[in-house]
Chain A
Amino acid sequence: MTNLLNYPLTETSQFQDVAQRIRRHVLRMVNTARSSHIGTAYSMTDLLAVLYGSVLNIDPTQPDWPDRDRFILSKGHGCTALYASLAERGFFPLDWLETFYQNGSPLVGHTTHSHVPGVEVSTGSLGHGLSIASGMALAAQRDNRKHRVFVILSDGECDEGSTWEALLFAGHQKLDNLVAIVDYNKIQSLGRVEDVLDLEPMADKWRAARWAVREIDGHDITQIQDVFASLPFEPGKPNCVIAHTVKGKGVSFMENDLLWHYRSPDPDEYAKAMQELGE
């Protein structure tokens, strides 16, 4: 059995094992909490498995190590997958996950740094993460420090004006130590992105703001590994990874369905999902 304590992972099957473990944690958490956002957690689970499995230069025994890579989950509603990744990586005990969303738990329903080792930044209101990440990247650039700053954005939060303020800024400041990953699952809160507020041509917009852009299948472990292995994409440009993903990825009846932004599973659905996730 693979978990992130076997860090760094190398084999595709190891990352896939870990991703399924994270998905099972998330399903248990959502099921207990009766609070969903499961689809948004699943669309980025494979990305997190690779980031926490091999890419991020971090140390669970020293969460505040100054030279660590920073990771910000700007789409804070996907916190279950982040909490599970951090627990798997050893930042805190796995049994904390059972307390998610419960009264008095440190694991709040949107990503919080307070009392949770390994979480850099609290989020939950969309459109904040890229600015904070840019500030961190600028500070690192000016202090000539070598760590990198990663941030995962949702497609929906690319509606926010503040995201575009930060996007222009990072390109202008040539923050090539900054990596923005768009979890482009094509579904936002009330419908399909193309129907609510179309972001296309997405890659061209980032390129126009002087970012180096790569597009990948956000569920293909090899593509995810390769894209992060080629950082920085171009000297003097911030890095954008547009990860084409499927909302609810991993559970057949949740995939690509807006309903699972909100819905918690009933007992039959829970059993069926758990079975599909390999338990």
Chain B
Amino acid sequence: MRTAFITALQELAEHDDRVTLVVGDLGFGVVEPFAKRFPSRYVNPGVAEQNMTGIAAGMAMSGKVVFTYSIGNFPTLRCLEQIRNDVCYHSADVKIVSVGGGFSYGSLGMSHHATEDLAIMRALPRMTVVAPGDPVEAAAATRALAAMPGPAYLRLGRAGEPIVHQGPISFTIGKAITVREGTDVTLIATGGILEQAMVAADQLAARGVQTRVLSMHTIKPLDTDAVLKAASETGAIATLEEHSILGGLGGAVAEVLAEHAPWKIPFTRIGMDSTFVSKAGDQEYLRDMFGLSAPAVVNRLLALMDTSNR
């Protein structure tokens, strides 16, 4: 996803001289071509995320379209107040890009697990929150966010994620992509875990369960129509995210269903418990630990549908 992002950003920068990249001294092997091609639109303020974000706000107030770039929680939690006060309150054209959403950097430990970022960014007024499901969505999201004035958070995976969308996609901020049609149950995924949602849907199909899979790449503003449509057209809904079950995709969908669904629909949130991981584990291992991999997702959905049939 990071390759798709930086490639799309360079293409944008070729056509729009406002596009500026501010990095928090991270991005080895990723940002160098941009820096070389556009030296006057590249800044590395060093290991100083608060200043990175303040600088980005000041540059945006001067007419630039600024992307800040770092990994994990560094461009979000480390400088949260600069994002809230300097970026959001001023509606500054700053797009915060984090590489390493969820457990992408799993074995690097707790400091590098970005597992509350969606909830925290979603709580900020004026903030748009996007977590693309694959590299195709990542490139489309980069272009869409650059064209959209105002603050945004772009949560990426790392590198080498499988491509889910084999053909062209229609990508609109705030509109879910129906990746697979189905009427028995809906699985709503956000971010790179989308591939596991697709595997789970295949496994469920083998058992005769037709699963609708939505890529909810935009957490805020949430596509409430897609959620309510799933509530009326399918028998149950589950959310899947590589993130805490508190306040992210699951929380956002739960809010919609609780307030707007015309009847009670079986619903479950699949994600990380509100906890820390204190042992080494790669992304696959940690996904398994919290039941985010396809086989566990299949079991959760079957159990959910079983509840609905009782």
Indicate if the CB atoms of A162 and B51 lie closer than 8 Å.
Answer: yes
Indicate if the CB atoms of B58 and A132 lie closer than 8 Å.
Answer: yes
Residue in chain B with minimal CB distance to A137:
B58
- Tell me if A's interface is mostly helix, strand, loop or mixed: helix
Residue in chain B with minimal CB distance to A162:
B50
Indicate if the CB atoms of B62 and A140 lie closer than 8 Å.
Answer: yes
Bitwise, A137-149 to B at CB < 8 A (1) or not (0) is: 1111011000000
Residue in chain B with minimal CB distance to A142:
B40
Indicate if the CB atoms of B61 and A136 lie closer than 8 Å.
Answer: yes
Residues of A with C-beta under 8 A to B251: none
Residue in B45, B53, B59, B64 whose CB lies within 8 Å of A169: B45
Indicate if the CB atoms of B54 and A135 lie closer than 8 Å.
Answer: yes
* B143 is an interface residue with CB less than 8 A from chain A: no
Indicate if the CB atoms of A132 and B57 lie closer than 8 Å.
Answer: yes
* B55 is an interface residue with CB less than 8 A from chain A: yes
* B89 is an interface residue with CB less than 8 A from chain A: yes
- Tell me if B's interface is mostly helix, strand, loop or mixed: helix
Q: How far is the CA of A123 from the CA of B81 in the complex (A)?
A: 11
Number of A residues whose C-beta is below 8 Å from B?
Answer: 29
* B43 is an interface residue with CB less than 8 A from chain A: yes
Give, as a whole number of angstroms, the nearest-CB distance from A209 to chain B: 13
Among A135, A139, A140, find the residue whose CB has the most chain B CB atoms closer than 10 A. Answer: A135
* Contact-residue bracket for chain B: 20 to 34
* B56 is an interface residue with CB less than 8 A from chain A: yes
Indicate if the CB atoms of B50 and A135 lie closer than 8 Å.
Answer: no
Given the known A-B contacts A128-B85, A165-B45, A169-B46, are A121 and B61 also in contact in the complex, defined by CB atoms under 8 Å?
A: yes
Given the known A-B contacts A142-B40, A165-B50, are A132 and B61 also in contact in the complex, defined by CB atoms under 8 Å?
A: yes
Give, as a whole number of angstroms, the nearest-CB distance from A79 to chain B: 14
Indicate if the CB atoms of B86 and A169 lie closer than 8 Å.
Answer: no
Residue in chain A with minimal CB distance to B84:
A125
Bitwise, B19-61 to A at CB < 8 A (1) or not (0) is: 0000000000000000000001101011010110111111111
* B10 is an interface residue with CB less than 8 A from chain A: no
Residue in A114, A139, A142, A162 whose CB lies within 8 Å of B54: A162
Indicate if the CB atoms of A138 and B55 lie closer than 8 Å.
Answer: yes
* B149 is an interface residue with CB less than 8 A from chain A: no
Residue in A125, A135, A161, A165 whose CB lies within 8 Å of B58: A135
Indicate if the CB atoms of A139 and B64 lie closer than 8 Å.
Answer: yes
Give, as a whole number of angstroms, the nearest-CB distance from A134 to chain B: 6
* B82 is an interface residue with CB less than 8 A from chain A: yes
Query: CB within 8 Å of A: which of B60-110?
Result: 60-64, 81-82, 85-86, 89-90
Residues of A with C-beta under 8 A to B64: 139
Indicate if the CB atoms of A162 and B82 lie closer than 8 Å.
Answer: yes
Q: How far is the CA of A166 from the CA of B55 in the complex (A)?
A: 8
* A133 is an interface residue with CB less than 8 A from chain B: yes
Indicate if the CB atoms of B62 and A128 lie closer than 8 Å.
Answer: no
Give, as a whole number of angstroms, the nearest-CB distance from B216 to chain A: 32
Residues of B with C-beta under 8 A to A162: 48, 50-51, 54, 82
A-B contact pairs, 16 of them (CB 8 A): A113-B90, A121-B90, A127-B50, A128-B86, A130-B54, A131-B53, A131-B54, A131-B86, A132-B54, A132-B58, A134-B55, A138-B58, A138-B59, A139-B62, A162-B48, A165-B50
16 further A-B contacts with Cβ under 8 Å, apart from A128-B54, A139-B59, are A113-B90, A123-B85, A124-B85, A131-B86, A132-B55, A132-B57, A135-B57, A135-B58, A136-B58, A136-B59, A138-B55, A143-B62, A162-B51, A165-B46, A166-B51, A169-B48
Closest 6 CB pairs of A and B: A135-B58, A131-B54, A139-B62, A165-B51, A135-B55, A165-B48
